[in-house]
Amino acid sequence: MSKSPPETPADAAAVDAAAPAALHVPDVVVGWVQAGPLDDTQRDAFNRARALVREALQRELPGFAWSFPFLRRRDLGTGGAEAEPVDLLDAGVTERRVAGWDFALVVTATDLRARFRPFALATPAQALDTAALSMARIDPGVRDSGMTDAERTERMGHRLAALALHAFGHLNGLDHELREDAVMHAPRSPSDLDLSSLSFTEPNRSEIEAELHDVADPRMEEETAFERLSDAAFVVKAVLLNWADIADTVVQIRPWRFPFQLSKLTTAAFSTLVVLVMTAEAWDLGTRQPLALVGALSAVAIVGTSAYLVRKQGLLARRHGQARTEQQVVQAVSILLALGLGMSTTWGLLFGTTLVLRTLFFDAPILDGWAASLGHPVGHDDVLAFAGFVAALGLGVGALGGSFEDQTYFRHVAYVDEET
């Protein structure tokens, strides 16, 4: 790994000019990481994009002192035809923490590996305050061989700038816009980026300003009032101060999609459901459980499986001796809540499916025969207890199946907000 100064004198002057002019002006640092080599045209377009992003953010959000440091990581994005987004995100997170940046944009010439779309131009991760961007598909010269080098550089730079601003908007919780020239319009192809005005709408601008004021405030670890707090008290205080950011990050992750994206987890869970629903002994055991006990068992299953998968899949890996930070707490709590909601969604699907199967295939005489030890006909509470019992057991077995998911894929599902 090598760190390089800005590549042109003009760029260096612009970075210096972006330094805080007055102490009362909130400082926001957006770091750029070049992952792997770029050819001459790509490098020129990269420099142009950085200049356009700098100009856009200073114009659109003038109430902040912007800094745009740059470094090069030669060891990234060179392992094959496609780059794993989570590897680039990990590198961006590392550089952001070490340098104290607020955000990191990692740019590679390699195609990003898409999991849910034919291709991905960018993969923002609000939980990590980092986005990975690819230049592989935004070169207009691929389809128009008659373009001059200057025209190719300018258009590719504009596309990368539009992509970077779009990803930056996601890192600050912005949703998509329908207007084709809006920064937050979702591009369906690289050519859609040509339409971007590199400007945020007024509602977007207000929302991002509010978010950036929180980002620019001094971190808890930087204030002497919090230095003596125990780790537990530090975490509680950080959550209370950042609960809105945590909720917004969880929404961006969309944990309700997890059961449909983690196939091994879902297959194991529903296989368990089928076996239990078709077994008389399971009905006998499940219907005899008090509803309160089933509720407690379900809560334990959700919390336990979430904690198990977080550890098994390395979602919150922390280096030994790493200092505690407010940002780290927010990210960890967001991931834990998102996974907990994902497991809760799986539990709900198992519970609902059990009730549907009971309605479709199991009439009262069958259930009364299977649960004869109850001493009374199987009622609604008994069926609810059985459905919760099945959902809790199915969730436990599903977590074991989820532990066999490829770790890179699992972390992609947990971290990446969208494949732009």
Mean pLDDT for all residues in the chain: 84
Cα–Cα distance for residue pair 102/214, rounded to 1 Å:
11
Cα–Cα distance for residue pair 65/58, rounded to 1 Å:
8
Helix (H, G, I), strand (E, B) or coil at 306: helix
Asked if 99 and 225 count as a contact pair (C-beta separation under 8 A), the reply is no
In b/e form, how buried is each residue of 15-35, taking b as 16+ CB within 10 angstroms?
beebeeeeeeebebbbbbbbb
pLDDT tens string 66-112: 999 999 998 876 666 788 999 999 999 999 988 989 999 999 999 99
For Cα atoms 219, 95, 25, give the angle at the middle one, nearest 5 degrees.
40
In sequence order, the 6+-apart residues with CB closer than 8 A to the CB of 97 are 322, 325, 328
How would residue 17 be classed by pLDDT, with cut points 50, 70 and 90? Answer: very low
> Which helix (DSSP H) or strand (DSSP E) does residue 123 occupy?
strand 122-125
Helix (H, G, I), strand (E, B) or coil at 130: strand
Cα–Cα distance for residue pair 327/340, rounded to 1 Å:
20
Among 57-71, 159-173, 233-247, name the one with the lowest average pLDDT.
233-247
Instruction: Say yes or no to pLDDT of 12 above 50.
Output: no
Higher-confidence residue: 402 or 142? Answer: 402
Q: How many CA atoms lie within 13 A of 220 on its CB side?
A: 24
* pLDDT (mean) for 264-287: 90
Instruction: Report the sign of the C-alpha dihedral through residues 166, 188, 252, 310, in that order.
Output: negative
Task: Report CA-CA distances (Å) from 199 to 59, 135, 177.
Answer: 9, 21, 12
Asked if 238 and 220 count as a contact pair (C-beta separation under 8 A), the reply is yes
Q: How many CA atoms lie within 13 A of 94 on its CB side?
A: 13
pLDDT of the residue at 13 = 41
pLDDT of the residue at 324 = 66
What whole-number percentage of the chain has pLDDT above 90?
46
> Which helix (DSSP H) or strand (DSSP E) does residue 133 occupy?
strand 130-134
Cα–Cα distance for residue pair 154/141, rounded to 1 Å:
11
Domains and CATH numbers, the chain: 9-216 (3.40.390.10), 232-415 (no CATH)
- 98: nearest Cα among 235, 236, 171, 3: 3
**352, amino acid identity:** G
* pLDDT (mean) for 32-57: 94
How would residue 242 be classed by pLDDT, with cut points 50, 70 and 90? Answer: confident
